[in-house]
A and B are shown apart, each in its own frame.
Chain A
């Protein structure tokens, strides 16, 4: 068992690294995407060493434009925008990963069970999930976050709700097509339990699909997180957060102090784009692998 696990991990790892080397048309997307995401992760992990100033204290006069001393200028309260950007990476990554882990933890098992057993349970679950999927994600998240009250954990919960249907639909669909395949029948023949078939036989085959859905939904979740904190539903002052800083800079923006808004928003977009590029490249790889 341990051997198969090691083999599977290595297999997944090679198939992840392989596309980086090749000359396939989507390689540049994967490279650029990974470069962006890893930079932001690095920024978040080593924030205390990278940020030149405290993110929450007044370090200079307010409204200073970008200069060598303050790469991205200072905000209305005299705080260093660059330092806030660096520290802000932590919040957004934390919230988005927490939310993704939560939606996976709920969406994947539900999808497996629903697709595997079928029947009435499947119909009810699918209907609920399809309805949730059809509903404006941001509005659903706003409603949940508004009732829970502003905090990063609550934002993560709100975002998690939104992406449960995404994982559910994908896993359910794949399970439906996998459960009638030969290897599943073989497993049943040697007496594997339903639970074992779902989690030991079908789930490992979903690795790539989950990865694609993960990168694409993370890209989306980043925009949702930034949106929620822009609306004041995530962090509270003085926590550095890209979406919230954008909101706080808005009143000064049209007076010409563009840097308080420009840089946080640019980071949101870059990070979302990083994940979207990775997802795009992986899904292309997956679809060519399947048609081959």
Chain B
């Protein structure tokens, strides 16, 4: 039944649609089911003039029948319209904020993701190779401690040590004041490479170090134990023994085992990416990182209902996209997947 990768991707992409729809529906229903009047909340008072109340309701799209709202919003979403802000500055399209801020979150999550996977692979492999010993036990403690680190706390400690005491690294923002870079992708590291702006590149990387290490370490724990357990399984299999019998030793065997132990890790990556996005909200708040997380937090202070809804729905889309990517990577890595 080999129909080629293109077919597989197309089918997978179609299968993502229900997931996104379900997520959208959940968010939609939840936000409307909850008690309290979002319009009064954003106005901050019960005594607002009726015409202003109606105006806000219209802006929020709440004046129509819920079923109409549901499809209107869905239709808008497909066209990149996530509603408009209710609080100051009132009436700004949420998509404009997403456009401005999402690249920052993406850049942070990509770096953190890479750090967490690399750390997890390294620690897990070492633990598996030295299983049963002190190193193994140590890595086990590492995975639990890393998992239970409270992101703002850990982030601030890193700020204190590397930003304040040693003064090696900046502790907030994405770039040194005064530096700008032409937007190509919105990812400063990539943009500065494209435009060959080395000052910006240096500054962008320096600003990325602490936040992405914070988030990366916290998320690495889950990989550590998964890689370790898979590696232990794989190392006990016949093909590894066959390698060893032929005289393949040490890190080479570890490499072969790691390639096989990696497949389940890809599945975990999908789930971990969702946790990563949640953790990014806390990381961004800790490091004043101007991404989607700080956007949501800013909007919470205004109780800006439509902005929060737009951002959350956008995340639902993004999570769907990530699971599609994970499926594709899985298919490319695991020869047993037939497409």
Q: Which residues of A are in contact with B by a Cβ distance under 8 Å? A: 127-128, 130-132, 134-140, 142-144, 146-149, 161, 219, 223, 226-227, 230-233, 243, 246-247, 250, 253-254, 256, 258, 261-262, 264-266, 268-269, 272-273, 276-277, 280
Contacts and interface: CB of A to CB of B under 8 A. Distances in A.
B319 A134 contact: yes
Given A146-B303, A230-B282, A262-B157, A131 B22 contact: yes
Given A127-B18, A254-B160, A265-B156, A137 B271 contact: no
Contact of B277 (A136, A232, A276, A277): A136
A130 B27 CA distance: 14
A138 B30 CA distance: 15
Given A230-B285, A231-B297, A254-B163, A266 B153 contact: yes
Contact of A138 (B36, B271, B278): B278
Interface in B278-309: 278-279, 281-282, 285-286, 296-297, 299-301, 303, 305, 308-309
A268 B300 CA distance: 23
B278 A230 contact: no
B151 interface: yes
B282 A144 contact: no
Given A253-B160, A254-B159, A276-B144, A128 B315 contact: no
B147 A143 contact: no
Contacts of A226: 150
Given A128-B22, A137-B275, A143 B148 contact: no
A149 B40 CA distance: 12
Contacts, number: 150
Pairs of residues from A and B, 5 with the lowest C-beta to C-beta distance, nearest first? A265-B153, A138-B278, A136-B278, A272-B148, A131-B22
25 contacts: A128-B22, A128-B26, A134-B19, A134-B323, A136-B319, A137-B278, A138-B278, A139-B281, A140-B312, A142-B281, A142-B308, A143-B30, A143-B308, A143-B309, A146-B300, A147-B38, A148-B36, A161-B30, A223-B148, A233-B300, A254-B159, A261-B153, A269-B148, A273-B145, A277-B144
B94 to A, nearest CB: 14
Contacts of A277: 144
Given A131-B26, A253-B156, A265-B157, 6 more contacts: A139-B312, A142-B296, A227-B151, A261-B153, A272-B148, A276-B148
A261 B154 CA distance: 10
Contacts of B150: 223, 226-227, 243, 246, 265, 268-269, 272
Contacts of A269: 145, 148-150, 153
B144 A132 contact: no
Interface residues of B, number: 56
Interface in B230-244: none
A135 B23 contact: yes
A2 B315 CA distance: 50
B31 to A, nearest CB: 6
Contacts of B270: 134
Interface in B304-335: 305, 308-309, 312, 315-316, 319, 323
A257 to B, nearest CB: 10
Contacts of A219: 147-148
B41 interface: yes
A135 B297 contact: no
B152 interface: yes
Nearest to B320: A134
A144 B30 contact: yes
B337 interface: no
Contacts of B19: 130-131, 134
A114 B87 CA distance: 42
A223 B278 CA distance: 11
B30 to A, nearest CB: 6
B275 A265 contact: no
B301 A232 contact: yes
B74 interface: no
B152 A135 contact: no
Contacts of A149: 36, 41, 303
B271 to A, nearest CB: 7
A261 B151 CA distance: 12
Given A135-B319, A136-B277, A254 B171 contact: yes
Nearest to B171: A254
Given A149-B36, A258-B160, A227 B30 contact: no
B301 A138 contact: no
A31 to B, nearest CB: 14
A135 B315 contact: yes
B36 A147 contact: yes
